[in-house]
Structure 1
Amino acid sequence: MGDLVEWQEADRRLTRRVAGWESPLVRRFLPKVQSAAEHTKLWWCAAAVMAAAGGVRGRTAAVAGLAGMGLAELLSNAVCKQVYDRRRPPEGLIPHDDVHPRPDSSSFPSGHTAAAVGFTVAAAGPWPWVGTACALPAALVAVERVHSGAHYPSDVAAGAVIGLATGLLVRHSPGILVRHLL
């Protein structure tokens, strides 16, 4: 029990530290990241650009990315949030006034982070360069979720693990299906 309390306190300290970043660049840029990530707009736009500009490889990466994102959202939002009900970080932990109204859903795991990582990992399979290009926005989404007070770092970490797992599943599912069907 003592380890859990220590872990929760470390999570709270890290939340306070990340939310306390006062750099003008951070304060100006992260709200734009939040806006782009809402309703997965950022990833739908990335998929549209990939499909339009990347030929067959781009369309394949776009479809894989959207599948990874969708599966990650399904697992994080429809399954995990229903199983584990965790309150969002209290506003008192967030030392700035940019705390937006937060949903009543469970804080654990971060669905935004799961979607971002799921998209990135799945799209990188058919088009590795895309994984590199999407990694930075995915990381910024994760940081923004803590900075804005929407999630604890452990929520974001869990979302990243879910996104990684679903992205890899999407990348490897054609081979798995072929092996089992033959």
Structure 2
Amino acid sequence: MRLLNDVRRLDRRLTRQAASWESAWARRALPAVESAAEGTKLWWGMAGLMAATAGRSGRKAAAAGVLSMLTAQLLANAVGKQISDRRRPPEQLIPHGDVEDRPDTSSLPSGHTAAAVGFAAAVTASSPAWGVAAAVPAVMVALERVHSGAHYPSDVAVGTTIGLASACLINRAPRLLLRGLLP
């Protein structure tokens, strides 16, 4: 119980610090990236660009990214948020006015982060260069979720874990299936 209380205190302290980060760049760039990632538009767009311009390896990376993103979303939103009923960070921890437009679903886990990390990690396994291009906005989405007051850092950490697990599953599934089908 003490460990859980320590994590809660750390979560609150880190949330307050992240939300207090005053940077003109952060105030403009983070919400713009989050808006692009809303409804997974950014990841679908990136997958389309990869598939259209990067040949067979781009199509493979795009397919892996999309499948991982969808798996991560399913795990985070349809399973994770049903298991947990964690409230969003309280408004008094957030010193700016961006807290009015927060979802009323469970805070744990961050579905935006799970989808972003799932996409970027799966793409990276197939195409490191595209993976770096996807990782930059994925990290920005994770930062924005805490900066905006939508999530605690631990929500983002769990979303990251779900995204990484989804990418691992998607990238290993074909080999595992083939191993089971072939003598």
Do the structures match in fold with TM over 0.5? yes
Separation of aligned partners in 2, 1:46 and 1:151: 25
> Offset at 1:126?
1.9
Change over 3 Å in CA distance of 1:105–1:125 after alignment to 2: same
> Offset at 1:55?
1.0
Indicate the larger mover: 96-105 or 82-91.
96-105
Identity %: 60
> Match of 2:36?
36
> Match of 2:137?
137
Alignment TM-score, normalising by the size of structure 2:
0.97
Separation of aligned partners in 2, 1:52 and 1:100: 39
How is 1:1-150 mapped onto 2 (pairs within 5 angstroms)?
1-150=1-150
Change over 3 Å in CA distance of 1:138–1:73 after alignment to 2: same
> Offset at 1:100?
4.0
Give 1:140's aligned amino acid.
M
Indicate the larger mover: 145-154 or 33-42.
33-42
> Offset at 1:87?
0.5
Separation of aligned partners in 1, 2:140 and 2:72: 18
Q: What are the Cα deviations for residues 110-134 of structure 1, in whole angstroms up to 9, with x where unaligned?
A: 0000000100111122212111221
* Structure 1 spans left out of the alignment, 5+ residues: none
Separation of aligned partners in 2, 1:7 and 1:28: 30
Q: Is the 8 A contact 1:142 1:156 kept in 2?
A: yes
Give 1:117's aligned amino acid.
V
Q: Is the 8 A contact 1:100 1:148 kept in 2?
A: no
CA-atom RMSD in angstroms: 0.9
Give 2:69's aligned amino acid.
M
* Structure 2 spans left out of the alignment, 5+ residues: none
Give 2:130's aligned amino acid.
V
Alignment TM-score, normalising by the size of structure 1:
0.97
